[in-house]
C-alpha cells in the first residue's frame, strides 16, 4: 500500500494504458516487502519539460522509465547522459539523485540481449540483422555492437534514418562490419524485427502481410538462427510463427520487457545493480554460425 514513506518510480508515455511495467515492478516490490511503487503517467508531449523540472524537486521520486514517444525529448532534458544514451539521442530510464540531478541511460538493447542470452545467443563474433532503425532498433543495434558482433546488417524503409544510424555506429564501433543490404539470411545467427510490422495495422507494401521481410528472403533463414520480435501483441507474430516452423529458436517481444526490468530498476537504484557482462552471457550453448 502506498503511504507517506513510499518511494516512487514512474513510467511516462502517451498513451500509457498498454504498458506492463507497473505490474512487473510492483509485483517485484511487493514480493520483497519493499516500500516502493511504480505509477503510470499519461504525459502530454507539451508538458514533458514541466514534468522534468518538477521531477527535480520530487523528493521521494527515485526515477522515471520513459516509453514512446518521449525518449528523445527526455534525453535532451537530462542533466547527465551515459555515453550510450548520448550517442543514441534517447533515454528510456532516468535516475533522480538526492540533489535533484537527472541522469539518463538507454537500456532497451541490454534488455533485448538479456533475453537473447536465455536462448543461447551471445554477441562476440556473431552475424546479425536488425530490421528497423527507429528508437528500439537503434538501441538493439548499439548493444549488439557494444557486446562484440562481427557483422551487423541494418534495414529500414526510411533511407535517411538508416544512413544516420549506420554512420553513428561506424563512428563508435569501427571494428564492426556494418552493411545496409541483405540478399540472404542463411549466414545470420540473429534476425531481429524492431518494427511494428506483425501487428494487425502495421504492414509494409514491400513485404508480405504481417511480415517485415519478403517471403522469398525469409525462406533463406537458417534453422540455427535465433529470430526475435519486439512486437508484444500478438504473443506469436507472423514472423515468429514462420521462424518456428523452420526450426529456428524464437524470442517473443514480452521477453525483452521482462529481461529489461533488472536493468531499469538497477539504474534507478530501486533494485540491485546489474552487471551487463554477467547478464549478457548465454545460458545454454549458442548455435554455430
DSSP three-state, residue 114: helix
Q: Which stretches within 57-204 are classed as H helix?
A: 71-77, 83-88, 108-117, 135-146, 159-172
DSSP three-state, residue 205: coil
71 is catalytic: yes
Tell the burial category of 15 from Cβ atoms under 10 Å away from its Cβ (0-12, 13-18, 19+): exposed
What is the mean pLDDT of the segment spanning 87-104?
96
**Domain layout of the chain by residue ranges:** 7-106, 109-254
- pLDDT tens digits along 145-163: 999 999 999 999 999 999 9
pLDDT for res 172: 95
Please tell me if the domain spanning 7-106 has the same topology as the one spanning 109-254. Answer: yes
Instruction: Considering the candidates 71, 76, 244, 246, report the single residue annotated as catalytic.
Output: 71
What is the mean pLDDT of the segment spanning 183-193?
97
Query: Is domain 109-254 given the CATH code 3.40.50.450 in the classification?
Result: no
pLDDT for res 84: 92
Q: Residue 289's pLDDT band (boundaries 50, 70, 90)?
A: very low
- CA–CA separation, 206 and 214 (whole Å): 7
Q: Class for domain 7-106, per CATH?
A: alpha beta
Sign of CA dihedral 108, 111, 112, 113: positive
Amino acid at each position: 500500500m502506498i503511504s507517506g514513506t513510499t518511494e516512487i518510480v514512474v513510467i511516462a508515455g502517451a498513451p500509457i494504458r498498454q504498458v506492463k511495467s507497473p505490474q512487473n515492478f510492483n509485483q517485484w516490490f511487493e514480493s520483497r516487502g519493499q516500500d516502493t511503487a511504480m505509477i503510470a503517467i499519461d504525459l502530454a508531449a507539451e508538458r514533458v519539460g514541466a514534468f522534468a523540472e518538477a521531477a527535480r524537486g520530487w523528493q521521494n521520486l527515485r526515477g522515471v522509465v520513459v516509453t514512446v514517444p518521449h525518449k528523445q525529448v527526455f534525453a535532451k532534458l537530462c542533466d547527465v547522459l551515459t555515453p550510450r544514451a548520448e550517442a543514441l539521442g534517447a533515454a528510456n530510464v532516468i535516475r533522480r539523485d538526492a540533489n535533484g540531478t537527472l541522469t539518463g541511460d538507454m537500456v532497451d538493447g541490454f534488455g533485448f540481449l538479456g533475453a537473447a542470452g536465455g536462448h543461447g545467443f551471445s554477441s562476440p563474433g556473431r552475424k546479425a540483422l536488425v530490421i528497423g532503425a527507429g528508437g528500439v532498433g537503434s538501441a538493439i543495434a548499439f548493444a549488439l555492437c557494444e557486446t562484440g558482433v562481427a557483422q551487423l546488417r541494418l534495414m529500414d524503409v526510411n533511407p535517411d534514418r538508416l544512413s544516420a544510424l549506420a554512420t553513428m555506429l561506424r563512428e563508435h564501433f569501427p571494428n564492426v562490419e556494418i552493411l545496409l543490404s541483405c540478399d540472404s539470411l542463411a549466414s545470420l545467427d540473429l534476425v531481429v524485427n524492431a518494427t511494428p510490422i506483425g501487428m494487425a495495422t502495421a504492414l509494409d507494401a514491400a513485404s508480405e502481410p504481417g511480415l517485415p521481410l519478403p517471403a522469398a528472403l525469409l525462406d533463406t533463414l537458417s534453422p540455427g538462427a535465433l529470430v526475435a520480435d519486439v512486437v508484444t501483441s500478438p504473443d506469436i507474430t507472423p514472423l515468429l510463427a514462420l521462424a518456428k516452423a523452420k526450426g529456428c529458436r524464437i524470442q517473443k517481444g514480452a521477453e525483452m520487457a521482462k529481461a529489461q526490468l533488472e536493468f531499469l530498476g538497477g539504474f534507478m537504484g530501486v533494485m540491485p545493480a546489474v552487471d551487463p557482462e554477467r547478464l549478457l552471457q548465454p545460458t545454454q550453448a549458442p548455435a554455430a554460425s
